[in-house]
């Protein structure tokens, strides 16, 4: 999945300005593998300037949840990095990591997703990813 | 490292089901430069400074709250202790200043403004006395102004003349707001060893060592700790402490992140994180219920203090590692009216005033939001304050008294304060008098710092 994310970045990120990237300590800790560090340097992907958010969808399982949610995201021109999904005791749970670097107004997206979720009995939240890192990683 | 699905779920569950929230983002503002011999000028400057510095506080906090998906319940202001800038002002002018502060709070949309305060733990200056004289009226004619008075410290001892006055002031303030169950007293705290950077009301003020403006944060999360413990019904007490520690760590990290972001957006330095577990009347958001989960049938029974000591220390240990700057009161609050478990403990006669006093020896603050019978005398109130101050002075910790002598109510009746302040059963006091001791006045000398048994 890691590989796919980097691949995605290479494909989508046209705002790349610098080939020299300062790796944050947690980035280094995450992949001490020299290959990956070199790969980042080579592609010049500036990971630091990204703003990512987590879209969480929780509710009763039904047909077409992913299609509906991703349609809203696509209409807002929001790229998806990662999707994971599971069914827990009849409850549909999905988490998506999305790129909100160019999305100034997170609230507007939240409102659209809330409007989508409510009639379907789904709770949909958009939260900046940092909060999860703060709580679950030292 | 990527965040796993179950970790994301945990965060979302904490917020949506277990009442994880940031209780308060408090902006401290220095008012020293507003002092002026002309009261009208000072009054105007105070209003302008507060409403300028904090004009974006509410909006910025609300935006950050939505982006991170963590509710920020209260936005508040703490100011330089007002007594320090009163100078030659009269009692009426001091009341007028309280109204100005109230007005500023309403303009900004903050629910409380703290710092109508005086530090009189050793002596009382002219300005301090003016503030003390104005207190009952100031608190009864304003809605959002909070007052705190420091009557003792470990290094100065206890100023018993101030303690005597506070008993009278509390009675007066309660009487003036008798149609609201003595609500004015809910906005008045009497401290021993107050801290300068406390973001929680009613005791927040912007201390002398603080900068021009600062943003401090108080998190909360008794519900989160309670639910974490419920997953381990058979853990031993060492493991219980560990679970609390880990949970406090997560709560604090969330608070610190959001607090720093708000401070950054307001372009104001980040002050401190206050690690206190502050309960609310929401279901399961109770410190008492954590103690009961540890293994007490009802809060207040034997073992309560041991459980509270364990919990309080574990919260501090987890929180201290999670934040770069820990300050404020940082521990567990045990306000009766804001904690459904405490209320039930009193109703079931498990929890008494004496036990609450004893609990304050090992937890964060003191006798908090306790309703007392209306016929309690001023000297008994003073004596209650003196007892708490002595506990704080000897144990080198902050203690406080925020009790409400509810006019016309008797032991066992229930009173409503409304909103976040909740409801409380009226408690009785010891019927014997402390009048003579309080009448003696003077100062209780500072204690020895050695020979500490």
Split into its structural domains, chain B has a count of 1
pLDDT band at A91 (very low <50, low <70, confident <90, very high): confident
Nearest to A84 among B5, B10, B12 (CB): B5
Gap from B433 CA to chain A (nearest CA, Å): 52
Beta-strand relationship, B21-29 and B443-444: unpaired
In a domain, residue B271? The reply is no
CA distance A45 to A2: 14
Q: What's the CATH number where B166 sits?
A: 3.20.70.20
Residue B406 confidence (pLDDT) = 95
Gap from A18 CA to chain B (nearest CA, Å): 24
Residue A86 near chain B (CB below 8 Å): yes
CA distance B274 to B328: 5
In a domain, residue B380? The reply is no
Concatenating the DSSP letter of every residue in B77-123 gives EEES-THHHHTT--HHHHHHHHHHHHHHHHHHT-SEEE---EE-SS-
Domain of residue B118, residue span: 23-57+66-192
Look at residue B54 and give its three-state secondary structure.
coil
Task: Give the best-scoring range by mean pLDDT among A48-57, A83-92, B261-270.
Answer: B261-270
CA distance A26 to B298: 46
Nearest to B3 among A26, A106, A133 (CB): A133
Chain B residues whose C-beta is within 8 A of a chain A C-beta are 1-3, 5, 7-12, 16, 63, 66-70, 250, 253-254, 256-258
What percent of the residues of chain A are helix, what percent strand, and what percent coil, each to the nearest 5? 45, 25, 30
B136 conformational bin, left if phi > 0, alpha if psi -120 to 50, beta if neither: alpha
CA torsion B261-B262-B264-B270 (nearest 10°) is -100
As for the ipTM of the complex, it is: 0.77
For residue A21, pLDDT beyond 90: no
For residue A45, pLDDT beyond 50: no
Q: Closest-CA residue in chain A for B319? A: A135
Residue A14 confidence (pLDDT) = 40
Nearest to B69 among A82, A125, A136 (CB): A125
In a domain, residue B319? The reply is no
CA distance A28 to B98: 54
For residue A19, pLDDT beyond 60: no
Task: Give pairs for A73-76: CB < 8 Å, separation 24+.
Answer: A73/A98, A76/A103, A76/A109, A76/A112
What is the Cα gyration radius of chain B?
A: 21
Residue B332 confidence (pLDDT) = 83
Nearest to A132 among B3, B256, B258 (CB): B3
Beta-strand relationship, B326-327 and B270-274: parallel
In a domain, residue B9? The reply is no
In a domain, residue B53? The reply is yes
Q: Per residue in B18-59, pLDDT tens?
A: 888 899 999 999 999 999 999 999 999 999 999 999 999 999
Fold of A52-136: Alpha-Beta Plaits (3.30.70)
Backbone angles phi, psi at B61, to 5 degrees: -65, -40
For residue A44, pLDDT beyond 70: no
CA distance B309 to B433: 32
Q: Which helix (H) or strand (E) holds A71?
A: helix A65-75
CA distance B113 to B103: 10
Residues of chain B scoring pLDDT < 70: 1
Judging contacts by C-beta atoms under 8 Å, the chain A residues touching residue B5 are 84, 86, 93, 95
Residue A137 near chain B (CB below 8 Å): yes
In a domain, residue B166? The reply is yes
Judging contacts by C-beta atoms under 8 Å, the chain B residues touching residue A135 are 7, 10-11, 250, 253-254
Judging contacts by C-beta atoms under 8 Å, the chain B residues touching residue A93 are 5, 9
DSSP conformational letter for B395: H
In the block, residue with structure tokens 């659209």: A112
Pull the structure tokens for residue B47.
């209003």
Nearest to A132 among B11, B63, B258 (CB): B11
Q: Where in chain A is the domain with CATH 3.30.70.260?
A: 52-136
The answer to whether the Cβ–Cβ distance between B2 and A136 falls below 8 Å is: no
Nearest to B68 among A30, A107, A128 (CB): A128
Residue A107 near chain B (CB below 8 Å): yes
Contact B262, B60 (CB under 8 A): yes
Closest by alpha carbon to B38, among B79, B78, B85, B82? B85
Contact B385, B372 (CB under 8 A): no
Cα atoms in the Cβ-side hemisphere of radius 13 Å centred on A72:
20
pLDDT band at A48 (very low <50, low <70, confident <90, very high): low
In a domain, residue B128? The reply is yes
Residue A128 near chain B (CB below 8 Å): yes
In the block, residue with structure tokens 């958001």: B285
The answer to whether the Cβ–Cβ distance between A131 and B68 falls below 8 Å is: yes
Mean pLDDT of all residues in A33-45: 50
The answer to whether the Cβ–Cβ distance between B66 and A110 falls below 8 Å is: yes
> Which residues lie closer than 8 Å to B38 by C-beta, 6 or more apart?
none
């Amino acid at each position: 999945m890691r590989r796919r994310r980097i691949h995605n970045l290479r494909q989508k990120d046209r705002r790349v300005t610098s080939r020299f990237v300062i790796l944050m300590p947690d980035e280094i800790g995450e992949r001490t593998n020299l290959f990956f560090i070199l790969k980042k340097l080579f592609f010049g992907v500036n990971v630091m300037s990204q703003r990512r958010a987590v879209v969480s969808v929780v509710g009763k399982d039904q047909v077409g949840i992913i299609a509906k949610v991703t349609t809203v995201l696509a209409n807002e021109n929001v790229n998806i990095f990662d999707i994971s999904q599971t069914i827990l005791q009849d409850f549909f749970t999905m988490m998506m990591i999305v790129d909100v670097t160019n999305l100034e107004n997170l609230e507007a997206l939240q409102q659209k997703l809330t409007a989508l979720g409510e009639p379907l009995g789904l709770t949909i939240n958009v939260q900046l990813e940092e909060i999860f890192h703060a709580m679950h990683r030292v | 490292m990527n965040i796993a699905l179950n970790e994301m779920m945990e965060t979302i569950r904490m917020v949506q089901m277990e009442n994880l929230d940031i209780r308060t983002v408090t902006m401290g503002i220095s008012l020293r430069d507003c002092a002026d011999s002309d009261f009208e000028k000072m009054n105007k400057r105070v209003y302008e400074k507060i409403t300028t510095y904090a004009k974006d506080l509410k909006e910025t906090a609300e935006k950050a709250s939505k982006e991170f998906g963590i509710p920020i319940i209260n936005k508040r202001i703490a100011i330089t202790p007002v007594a320090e800038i009163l100078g030659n002002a009269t009692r009426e002018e001091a009341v007028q200043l309280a109204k100005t502060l109230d007005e500023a709070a309403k303009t900004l949309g903050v629910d409380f403004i703290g710092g109508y305060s005086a530090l009189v733990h050793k002596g009382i200056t002219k300005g301090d006395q003016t503030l003390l004289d104005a207190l009952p009226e100031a608190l009864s004619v304003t809605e959002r102004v909070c007052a705190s008075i420091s009557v003792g410290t470990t290094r100065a001892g206890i100023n018993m003349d101030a303690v005597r006055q506070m008993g009278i002031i509390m009675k007066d303030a309660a009487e003036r707001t008798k149609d609201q169950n003595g609500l004015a007293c809910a906005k008045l705290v009497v401290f021993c060893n107050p801290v300068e950077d406390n973001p929680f009301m009613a005791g927040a003020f912007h201390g002398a060592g603080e900068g021009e403006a600062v943003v401090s944060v108080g998190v909360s999360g008794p519900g989160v700790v309670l639910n974490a413990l419920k997953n381990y019904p058979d853990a031993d007490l060492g493991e219980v402490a560990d679970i609390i520690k880990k949970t406090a760590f997560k709560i604090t990290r969330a608070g610190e992140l959001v607090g720093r972001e708000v401070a950054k957006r307001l372009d104001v330095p980040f002050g401190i994180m206050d690690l206190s577990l502050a309960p609310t009347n929401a279901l399961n958001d109770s410190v008492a219920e954590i103690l009961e989960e540890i293994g007490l049938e009802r809060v207040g029974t034997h073992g309560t203090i041991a459980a509270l000591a364990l919990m309080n220390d574990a919260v501090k240990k987890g929180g201290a590692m999670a934040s770069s700057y820990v300050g404020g009161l940082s521990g567990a609050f045990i306000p009766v009216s804001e904690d459904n478990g405490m209320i039930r403990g009193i109703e079931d006669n498990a929890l008494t005033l004496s036990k609450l006093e004893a609990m304050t020896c090992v937890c964060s603050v003191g006798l908090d939001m306790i309703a007392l019978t209306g016929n309690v005398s001023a000297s008994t109130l003073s004596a209650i304050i003196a007892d708490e101050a002595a506990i704080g002075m000897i144990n080198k910790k902050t203690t406080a008294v925020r009790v409400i002598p509810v006019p016309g109510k008797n032991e066992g009746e229930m009173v409503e304060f409304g909103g976040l302040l909740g409801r409380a059963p009226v408690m009785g006091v010891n019927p014997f008098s402390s009048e003579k001791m309080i009448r003696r006045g003077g100062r209780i000398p500072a204690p020895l710092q050695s020979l500490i048994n």
